[in-house]
Amino acid sequence: MVILGWILAATLLAPQDDSVTSGNVVLRVPAGWKTEKKPEGLYLSPGDLKEDQSYVVIVSPGGKAVGNLAEGLDKSWKEFEAGGKVTNRAPGRETKTDSGTDGLFSVGFLETNDGSRLILAIALFKPADRFEAVIAMSAQDPVFAKYSGDLSAILKNLRFKNVELPVAVDLLVSADAGSSPTVYALFKDGSVLSALPEEGFDGFILADAKKRFGGSWGTHETKDGDLRVKIGEKTIALKAQPDWSWKTSDQATFLKAESAAGLKLDGRYAVKGREAQQDSSNLVFKPDGSFEDKGSNPPLAGTYEIANYTMKLTFPDRVKTVSFVALTKSEAVLINGLWYRRQP
């Protein structure tokens, strides 16, 4: 049976770091737990389970929210009825992640078609216009109870990329769209990255990036409204301006990037300097989330999503993520390291 297969598969998982991304969800994995990504979701399981014990947590892929939380939770339970009879289902109890996303939590039993009995917990959250579900299951009540604290911690620490960044960062970008941008990503721990990851910040893990970008890292501090960035032996002073921009001693202007989560573009965008080439280096975006790349041969079409300084481009045969930056008070956007301007 599929449901029992989910539980058995969890025993084969490999140990995982303490943070992992699954679709729109960023979660903290309890110490010693194991994870694996599968088509039906992200599997998590305790690393200390004995051979005769079962416990698995599944983070479902999620999707567009239809109805309210109560209706969504009811639909989630009904999906299990194909595998058996749901009994003793508790009403949805209001819950909330530490970052403020509302959800409902419910526990019940599933008497499977093959005569087995499972205890189930479903937590459904609604970040913005999406539903995200987390399901926990076990065949043994004592085992389910043993890991209830870990499950609670997983749910409390959930973060959702469509409503917040997985890591707190302020992104300053040079305002001159006619040249290669200078970027300073400022993190709360006082570190600064003077590079823009090609794939953006979606699923960004600070510790990994500090190893990956090597000499591009430095430190930053703010004093009396002035920002000092030190990269290696070089120190850059940026003075705050009344219009919320920053200027260096040589009058270079920096602007703060917008988070742009959920942003929808509308119109034709051309690489700066190539505006006259109607069918070259042009991207056409629509508010419905579709786009066309006229610079490719043949032209490519697909859908796009924007979150965490990242644009996710979905083609019929693949998915590509690239960096995306929208500047305050600027019609230019930075896509995959190139400045694009919206055309009349």
Residue 273, domain CATH: 2.40.128
Residues 197 and 183: their CA atoms lie apart, in Å, by 10
**Per-residue pLDDT, 276:** 54
Residues in the chain predicted with pLDDT less than 70, given as ranges, are 1-19, 164-168, 177-179, 273-281, 328-330
Task: Measure Cα distances from 37 to 23, 126, 215 in Å.
Answer: 10, 22, 32
> Quick check: is 218 in a domain?
yes
Question: Both 193 and 137 in a single domain?
Answer: no
> Quick check: is 262 in a domain?
no
Question: Both 67 and 115 in a single domain?
Answer: yes
**Per-residue pLDDT, 116:** 87
Question: Both 156 and 177 in a single domain?
Answer: no
Question: Both 203 and 59 in a single domain?
Answer: no
Model pLDDT for residues 63-82, shown as the tens digit of each residue: 888 899 999 999 999 998 88
**pTM of the predicted model, to two decimals?**
0.55
Q: Which amino acid is residue 27, in one-letter code?
A: L
Question: Both 239 and 336 in a single domain?
Answer: no
- Domain of 317? 267-342
Residue 128, domain CATH: 2.60.120.1690
β pairing state of 25-28 and 191-193:
unpaired
> Quick check: is 97 in a domain?
yes
Question: Both 203 and 222 in a single domain?
Answer: yes
Domain-terminating residue out of 104, 134, 160: 160
**Per-residue pLDDT, 6:** 45
Question: Both 195 and 280 in a single domain?
Answer: no
**Per-residue pLDDT, 13:** 44
Residues 24 and 260: their CA atoms lie apart, in Å, by 15
Model pLDDT for residues 274-324, shown as the tens digit of each residue: 655 555 568 899 988 899 987 777 778 999 988 888 898 888 888 888 999
Q: CA 205 from chain center: how many Å?
A: 11
Domain-terminating residue out of 160, 193, 212: 160
**Per-residue pLDDT, 271:** 83
Question: Both 124 and 179 in a single domain?
Answer: no
